[in-house]
Amino acid sequence: MSDFPKAGLLRRLASLMYDGLVVIAFAMLTTIMYLFFIQSLISFGVLSLGKYEDVSALIQGSSLLYGLRAILLVLVSVLFFSYFWTKSGQTIGMRAWRLKVQTPDGALLSWPKAMLRSLTAVLGLGNLLVLIDFKQKRALQDMICGTEVVFLTKEENKKVYNSLD
């Protein structure tokens, strides 16, 4: 059992806002790379613009290309959160707000658990369950994955960050 208090809704949402900005930046970069990839396929004659005026219109008009882009963006988001949760238990936003996700015995998440937790967070809306589960302060993703988010002291937060060196 953790010696740290469980994180409340406001800290979770503040952390999510920070991380949201990073995820948006990754999504933009991923989209640019995807556009260049599709443009390359057009340049090599693998794909054709056909009736579309540009690459963006082609992607919007093709269910397959549009769906692939959506899957790619979800994958980038899941990998972002999973990487940080398995490495230190803290994303960039969680570090700023001194939060850490862990198992109830204090261990870091495995890749499968981190990926499932990311997918079950429902774009952050799963955190609203913290208001209902006010004793244990578990979000939907915590209930499904058997995790907890704790509020670290300044000293412990520095230890987590310094252990990455």
Mean pLDDT of the chain, nearest integer: 95
- Alpha carbon separation from 77 to 5, 71, 74, 116 (Å, rounded): 27, 10, 5, 12
pLDDT at site 63: 97
Q: What is the DSSP letter of 3?
A: S
Instruction: Indicate the pLDDT class of residue 165, thresholds 50, 70 and 90.
Output: low
Instruction: Tell me how many domains the chain contains.
Output: 1
Q: How far is CA 110 from the centre of its chain?
A: 15
Share of the chain above pLDDT 90, in %: 92
Which has more confidence, 3 or 71? 71
Q: What is the pLDDT of residues 60-90, one digit of tens each?
A: 999 999 999 999 999 999 999 999 999 999 9
Which has more confidence, 70 or 1? 70
Q: Confirm whether 136 is domain-assigned.
A: yes
Its domain, for residue 138, covers: 7-161
Q: Confirm whether 106 is domain-assigned.
A: yes
Q: Confirm whether 68 is domain-assigned.
A: yes
Could you tell me the end-to-end alpha-carbon distance of the chain, in angstroms, rounded to an integer?
26
CB-CB contact of 15 with 91 (8 Å): yes
pTM (predicted TM-score): 0.92
Share of the chain above pLDDT 70, in %: 98
Instruction: Indicate the pLDDT class of residue 1, thresholds 50, 70 and 90.
Output: low
Q: Confirm whether 1 is domain-assigned.
A: no
Query: Could you write out the DSSP letters of every residue in 97-148?
Result: TTEEEE-TTSPPPPHHHHHHHHHHTGGGGGGGGGGTSTTTT--HHHHHHT-E
Q: What is the pLDDT of residues 22-42, one digit of tens each?
A: 999 999 999 999 999 999 999
Which has more confidence, 106 or 164? 106
Q: Confirm whether 45 is domain-assigned.
A: yes
Give dist(CA 115, CA 83) in Å, integer: 9
Q: Confirm whether 2 is domain-assigned.
A: no
pLDDT at site 148: 97
Q: How far is CA 115 from the centre of its chain?
A: 9
